[in-house]
Amino acid sequence: MMVLETILYLIAYPPLWHVLIVGLLGAFFTAVVAIWFERKTAARVQRRIGPYWASPRLGGFLNLIADMIRYILQEVIIPRSVDRVPFVLAPVAAFVISIMPMAFVPLSPYEKFWPVPNMDYSLLLALAISTVPPLMSIIGGWASNNKFSIIGSIRESYVITAYELIFVISLLSAAATYTSLNLLTIVNAQSPIAWLLFLNPIAFLAAFLAVLMSTSAFPFEIPESEHEVVGGPYTEYSGILYALNMGGAYVRRFIYAVIMSLVFLGGWAPYVPPADGPLFAIIIPSLIVAIKAVILVLIMSFLRAVYGRYRLDQALDSAWRLVLPMALIGLGWGIVLGLIL
């Protein structure tokens, strides 16, 4: 028993568990699952089968693995006209920084399982770091020295200005309700079933739309919109660098979904983790959080099949005119909730 216990403790060693296993592997796995799910859902709605022959029993799941291997081992073209250092570094940095917010996210109520000590501003820190990767894609697009990439970068900058504010405001409603910026406090306050999703659905909807916009999912897939700007910031990327870029967006979507599932979906609630043993204290609660996040990601993937793409100005228009007021109403209602509770 001691051996098993030790292995479990080793797995649950906070930096390893949080950032590498739930963070990197989880994000990687989610990226693959989300892409697979996106392709299969679209295929179902569109009356066809989608990826199939790579592994007919698994519904073509291995096809995504094949895509990944192909991208990793394909030639990497670095055109002569690009600015090399930022061109190569930007996707790598974007991918790495995308996972970083995991370090500040509690996946268990007990501090000993955390990579960083409990602090009162964990929500703010996670948010702050999550806003860096888009800057990296702007840098990559600019370094590509391609006209389409530059247009894509500019669009990305427009879009992030719009969505960041909305996302932050709608998450602040939670902070206002529970008068705390500590994610742990927010999660604990929602247990077991008083989730903010039910208490404050407007803020949840605003945050959901903001995540859609930020990770350029349909109908807000504007920076990469292929029919005008070919791939936006990623036009010139090839091989593994492109795979990092493409995976990065899905990883980001997953991280946002984790934050949202903590803030709005009650984290590991309705499960109440006991204090002893890593299996019950950390592994199961973090799986619950991950599953909630995956469900959110899959819902976002489903929208691809139903919606087209907004025009840039229309998307910004709806962001400022519709979603921002929504987020503000959510914030107001959050304050009211805070006064009531």
Partner 1 sequence: MSISEGTLGELRSKGVEVRRIDKEYYEIFIGPQHPGSGHMRFRVKLDGDIIVDADPDIGYVHRTMEKLSEGREWLKITPLVERMTIIDACNITLPYINALEKLMDKRPSTRASYLRVLLCEMNRIASHLYGFGIFGVFIGHSTAYMWGFGDREVFVELSEILTGTRLTYTYHIPGGVRRDMPQDFPQMVRRAVRYMRSRMPEYEKIFLNNPVIVTRLKDVGVITKNRAAELGVVGPTLRGSGIRYDVRLAEPYEVYGEIDFEVPVFEDGDALARTWVRVEEIKQSLNIMEQAIDWLERHRDEPVIPKEDYDKLPKLHKEVYEKSGRVKLLPAQISMKVPPGKAVARGEAGRGEIFYYVESDGGTMPYRLRVVTPSARNAIVFKRILPGHRLMDLPTVYGSIDYFAPEADR
Partner 2 sequence: MGVGVGGACAKGEGKVYAGNLNVAAKRARDIILGKLKLGEVVDWATTFSLWPVHLVTSCCGAEFAATWSPRFDAEQYGALPWISPRQTNFIIIEGTVTRKMACALRITYEQMAHPKFVIAMGACALDGGLFYNSYNVVKPWEIVPVDVYIAGCPPPPEALARAILDLRKKIREKKMASNWLREGWRGDVEYPMPKEDPCKWWQP
Partner 3 sequence: MPPRAVTKSVRKTGGLFDGVKSNVEALIIGVKYFIDPKRMTMFYPKEYLEHRPGYRGFIVLKKEVCISCAACARICPSAAMKMVRVSEVDPKEPAKQRQKQYPVINYQRCIFCGYCVDVCPVEALYHLPFHDVTYESLGDMFLTLDLFQKEPLRPVEKEGVPVVYEVDETLGLVKRERKGGG
Query: Nearer to partner 3 by C-beta: 9 or 302?
Result: 302
306 burial class (0-12, 13-18, 19+ CB within 10 angstroms)? Answer: exposed
Residue 86 binding partner per list partner 2, partner 3, partner 1, none, with a CB distance cut-off of 5 to 8 Å that depends on partner kind: none
- Shortest distance (Å) from residue 41 CB to partner 3: 6
Give the three-state DSSP class for 319.
helix
| Sites for partner 2 among residues 7-66 (CB under 8 A) | 39, 43, 46-54, 60, 62-63, 65-66
Contact characters 245-284, partner 1, x per CB under 8 A: ----------------------------------------
d(CA 42, CA 47): 9
Tell me: cis bond preceding 270? Omega within 30 of 0 counts: yes
**Partner whose footprint covers residue 80, from partner 1, partner 3, partner 2, none (CB < 5 to 8 Å by kind):** none
Is 46 an interacting residue with respect to partner 1 (CB under 8 A)?
A: yes
Q: Does 128 bind partner 2 (CB under 8 A)?
A: no
Among 80, 81, 117, 308, binds partner 1 (CB under 8 A): 308
- Binding segment (CB under 8 A) for partner 3, from list 78-86, 236-244, 265-273, 301-309: 301-309
Identity of the residue, 194 or 306, whose beta carbon is nearer to partner 3 in the bound complex: 306
Q: Which stretch binds partner 3 (CB under 8 A): 22-30, 41-49, 94-102, 204-212?
A: 41-49
**d(C-alpha 320, C-alpha 318), whole Å:** 6
- Cα separations (Å) of 57 from 33, 63, 67, 220? 16, 12, 18, 34
3-state SS class at 59: coil
Nearest CB to partner 1, comparing residues 18 and 40: 40
Q: By rule CB under 8 A, what string of x and - marks binding of each residue 72-111 to partner 2?
A: -xxxxx----------------------------------
Output the 3-class SS for 258-272. HHHHHHCCCCCCCCC
Position 146: which residue type? N
d(CA 281, CA 283): 6
Give the contact letters, 317-336, x = binds to partner 1 (CB under 8 A), - = no.
--------------------
Please give the Cα distance from 138 to 149 (Å, whole number). Answer: 9
Spell out where 221-264 has E strands: none
CB 284 within 8 A of CB 273: yes
**Residue 7 sits in the site that holds partner 1 (CB under 8 A):** no
Residue 9 in contact with partner 3, rule: CB under 8 A = no
What single letter denotes the amino acid at residue 114? W
